[in-house]
């Protein structure tokens, strides 16, 4: 009975793990779709910047104030931006299919994720040592230890004597309803000294004890891995949040510098190469900020999975 109960508890842990993994898969696919949607917008903004830049350089070239090589470069950058936008739209289709698959749709449906990528809540001061024992991998390993302990007890129990009692009550006689009653009581005591061979009991105990030692070692390893994985995931989340803050500051600075640089270039106080450097910094900052948002949300999903956050939360 106890063995069956342990098996049920182990199955329950497996179910909880499956639900947590399902949540992570759905959340990761949803984050991927949000990212793909916003990336299309970012690529469109970059295309608009490149188009305006190409138009400005073309006018400057026609007026004799800019070189032909610089005009060719801006035209090439514009074409590259068009290709990047096309790639972003194709990636969006892939992300939509990924989410459709995650939610179990048999046929492709154009899905649109509501909302935007934002910075997730922080988890400051998380006690790794206190949280690790509650991870499913550790709980599962502990159940294995309990099952092994039960096996050790069962192996030793086979050497105990067994007492069997029996009784019977009956009537006998020559008539249809005899009145002669008899009652019998029996006791049987058996001691399996050489059951299954003289070495069976010792070997069974040794095998069960060996399995227990392995289960205990696996539990220690699972606990160590749980602490390491939690620490790594928590660190990734913390670094990711810091990266988002830094990326936003760099993006704000890049946007401001681009506005100022455009004015200076048109006024003739900024050379083409410096203006291009400023513009490229803006393009890189736009993409870096969006990538940092995706990374930090993915890190939070991974940490939630390790903490066994169930489906629906």
Tokens, residue 249: 């500051």
Q: What is the DSSP letter of 133?
A: G
pLDDT of 37 reads 96
pLDDT of 277 reads 95
pLDDT of 236 reads 93
Residue spans of the domains in the chain: they are 2-306
d(CA 198, CA 37): 73
pLDDT, mean of residues 218-239: 92
Backbone angles phi, psi at 168, to 5 degrees: -150, 150
pLDDT, mean of residues 283-301: 95
Query: Is the confidence at residue 125, as pLDDT, over 70?
Result: yes
Q: Are the CB atoms for 80 and 47 separated by under 8 Å? A: no
Residue 278: helix, strand or coil by DSSP?
A: helix
Query: Is the confidence at residue 178, as pLDDT, over 70?
Result: no
Kindly state the percentage of the chain with pLDDT values over 70. 83
Q: What is the mean pLDDT of the chain?
A: 85
pTM of the entire structure? Answer: 0.78
Q: Does domain 2-306 have CATH number 1.10.4190.10?
A: no
Beta bridge partners of 120: none
Beta bridge partners of 187: 165
Q: Which residues contact 108 (CB under 8 A, 6 or more apart)?
A: 96, 97, 100
CB atoms within 10 A of CB 44: 15
205 vs 263, which has greater pLDDT? 263
Query: Is the confidence at residue 221, as pLDDT, over 70?
Result: yes
pLDDT of 172 reads 67
d(CA 113, CA 228): 34
């Amino acid at each position: 009975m106890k063995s069956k109960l342990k098996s049920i508890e182990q199955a329950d842990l497996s179910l909880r793990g499956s639900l947590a993994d399902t949540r992570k898969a759905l959340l990761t696919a949803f984050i991927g779709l949000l990212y793909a949607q916003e990336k299309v917008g970012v690529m469109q903004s970059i295309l608009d910047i490149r188009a305006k830049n190409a138009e400005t350089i073309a006018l400057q070239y026609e007026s004799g104030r800019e070189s032909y090589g610089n005009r060719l470069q801006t035209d090439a950058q514009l074409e590259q931006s068009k290709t990047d936008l096309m790639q972003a739209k194709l990636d969006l289709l892939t992300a939509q299919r990924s989410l459709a698959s995650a939610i179990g749709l048999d046929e492709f449906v154009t899905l649109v994720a509501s909302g935007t990528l934002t910075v997730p809540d922080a988890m400051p001061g998380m006690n790794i040592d206190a949280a690790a024992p509650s991870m499913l991998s550790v709980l599962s390993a502990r159940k294995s230890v309990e099952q092994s302990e039960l096996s050790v007890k069962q192996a030793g129990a086979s050497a105990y004597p067994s007492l069997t009692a029996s009784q019977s009550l009956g009537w006998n006689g020559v008539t249809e309803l005899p009145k002669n009653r008899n009652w019998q009581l029996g006791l049987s005591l058996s001691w399996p000294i050489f059951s299954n061979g003289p070495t069976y009991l010792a070997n069974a105990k040794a095998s069960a004890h060996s399995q227990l030692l392995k289960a205990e070692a696996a539990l220690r390893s699972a606990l160590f891995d749980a602490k390491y994985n939690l620490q790594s995931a928590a660190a990734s989340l913390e670094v990711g949040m810091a990266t988002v803050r830094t990326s936003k500051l760099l993006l704000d600075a890049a946007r401001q510098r681009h506005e100022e640089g455009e004015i200076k270039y048109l006024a003739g106080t900024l050379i083409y190469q410096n203006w291009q450097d400023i513009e490229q910094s803006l393009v890189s900052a736009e993409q870096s900020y969006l990538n940092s948002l995706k990374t930090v949300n993915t890190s939070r999903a991974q940490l939630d999975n390790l903490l066994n956050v169930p489906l629906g939360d």
